[in-house]
Structures are given as C-alpha cells and as structure tokens.
Amino acid sequence: MDLTVNGKPVSAEVDIRTSLLDLLREHLDLPGTKKGCNQGACGACTVLVDGVRINSCLALAVQYQGRSITTVEGLADGDTLHPLQAAFIEHDGFQCGYCTPGQLCSAVGMADELARGVPSYVTDVLAADTLSLTHDELRERMSGNLCRCGAHNGIVAAIAATYGADRPAVSA
C-alpha cells in the first residue's frame, strides 16, 4: 500500500490485521506515536489523517491507502519545533513524555476542529459562527487523551498559550 507520512510518500506491505499504529511503530520506524492501551481508551496513539485526529490503534493500516498521515515526528519544521511543542516544554506539559505525542497531535487536530466550528459537549450555542477556546472547551476536547503523570495543568496551559483566543494565530 502507498500513503504519505509526514509529507513523504511511503510504500509498505502489511498484514491486513496490522493497525495504523503498528504500521508506524513497527514497519516505518516511527515509534514516536505511542501504544498505551490498543483499544481506543487512552489517546496516546493519536495521529492526524488529512488533518483530522484519530486513534491510530483502532484504525487498520490498509484503510489508509493514499491518505496523508502526520505523526509527532512530523510536527516540527526541520529543527524548529512546532509552537505547540515549544509551549509544552515551556509550560512543563509532560513528565514521562509517553502520552505527549498523542496530546500534541490531538491538540493540533482539536484546534482545527474548533476553527471549523465543530461543537463539543460543553458548547453553549451549537450554531455559533465562531467558537472560542475556553478553559472548559479545551479540557473537554482534550479529555480523550489520558495523562497519568498528572501534567494536565501544563498541557492545558501550553495549548491555551498556543491556540487561545488572546494569542497570535498559529497554523495547525
């Protein structure tokens, strides 16, 4: 199968049982995407498919023929960290670092969902033209990404600093 990963075309021969997560980790030597439960409960495996966040452990690799995948390894621009990555370091948005790739990719996808006006469980006005990244919106939308070290405050601060309403716009 052929797909694009972090902007580069890749070909791979995979078992039909192989998940997108295992394709990345075991076949494409991209273990930055993490396995925390392999059943869609923890979010550590979150990647972006054509800009949309998914749990790659619940996706069969063969379904992603021709699609464009962005993993944590593809967020930075060469040696320049993505602003969100830099903010995670500045705000101590991680401890062990294992859930971090998923948190990062999820936040990038979340910011895009917000920009597209996709409502969440805590959105007051579902038909609102513009949504703002309130503390509750941010936390609700990131609740699919578990962190056991308890870096939640730092993660939220880093995302707010990068995508918050009063911050300069950052492209996802």
Of these, 48, 59, 88, 172, which contacts another protein (CB under 8 A)? Answer: 88
Residue 40 or 164: the one with the smaller Cβ distance to another protein is: 40
Binding to another protein by residue 8, rule CB under 8 A?
A: no
Angle between helices 100-115 and 83-90 (to 10 degrees): 130
Binding to another protein by residue 63, rule CB under 8 A?
A: no
Give the integer Cα–Cα distance in Å for 49 and 90.
27
Q: Which stretch binds another protein (CB under 8 A): 48-56, 62-70, 123-131, 148-156?
A: 148-156
Of these, 46, 55, 85, 123, which contacts another protein (CB under 8 A)? Answer: 85
Give the integer Cα–Cα distance in Å for 59 and 87.
29
**Residue that the structure tokens 């972090």 belong to:** 6
Least spacing, CB of residue 126 vs another protein, in Å: 19
Residue 112 or 140: the one with the smaller Cβ distance to another protein is: 140
Count of CB atoms situated within 10 Å of the CB of 44: 26
Give the integer Cα–Cα distance in Å for 63 and 126.
32
Quickly list H helices, the chain: 20-22, 83-90, 100-115, 135-141, 152-163
**Residue that the structure tokens 């320049």 belong to:** 80
Q: Which two tokens stand for residue 23?
A: 């394709």
Give the integer Cα–Cα distance in Å for 140 and 10.
35
Binding to another protein by residue 172, rule CB under 8 A?
A: no
Binding to another protein by residue 134, rule CB under 8 A?
A: no
Residue 91 or 129: the one with the smaller Cβ distance to another protein is: 91
Q: Enumerate residues 103-132 that contact another protein by CB under 8 A.
A: 104
**Residue numbers at the binding site for another protein (CB under 8 A):** 15, 17-18, 22, 25-26, 29-42, 44, 71-73, 75-76, 81, 85-86, 88-90, 92, 94-101, 104, 136, 138-140, 142-156
